[in-house]
Amino acid sequence: MIAVLSRSRFLADEISLNIAGRKVLSCLSAISEDSTAESLSWLSGTLSSSNVFAVFYESLFFVDPAPLKSLSPSTHFIFISSPGEEDLVEKALSCGASAFVQKPFSCPDIPGVLDLVSH
């Protein structure tokens, strides 16, 4: 299973369309303190109760995946960055993200990053 934590239905749909044969769960949220807390609660519950192979997540929700990796050590966290977020990419990778993909991404980017983290 793949989980997507995003504020954009379009982004979540793009990821889902480019992943063949895997179930994708999306949590779409507007950005506010309450909605971010609810989204993280959803992700924590999903990681605790399901076998999640990878989580695609935007920086607006969190950058450091370490606290969530403790819930599901085998899950790969893939940071979705925007142009200009190079410092956040570096931080996410140093904190345990397995990879990153930068918006806007092309169709081969998503299967490519999943292939990268699975080896």
Express each pLDDT in 47-64 by its tens digit: 999 999 999 999 888 999
Instruction: Please give the angle made by the CA atoms of 93, 99 and 100, to the nearest 5 degrees.
Output: 95
Give which of 69, 64, 67 is closest to 89, Cα–Cα. 64
Radius of gyration of the chain (CA): 13
pLDDT digits (tens, 9 = 90+) for 78-111: 999 999 999 999 999 999 999 999 988 877 788 8
**φ, ψ for residue 102 (rounded to 5)?**
-105, 135
CB 59 within 8 A of CB 3: no
Domain that holds residue 31: 2-117
Q: How many domains does the chain have?
A: 1
Residue found under tokens 């793949």: 2
pTM: 0.89
CATH of the domain at 13: 3.40.50.2300
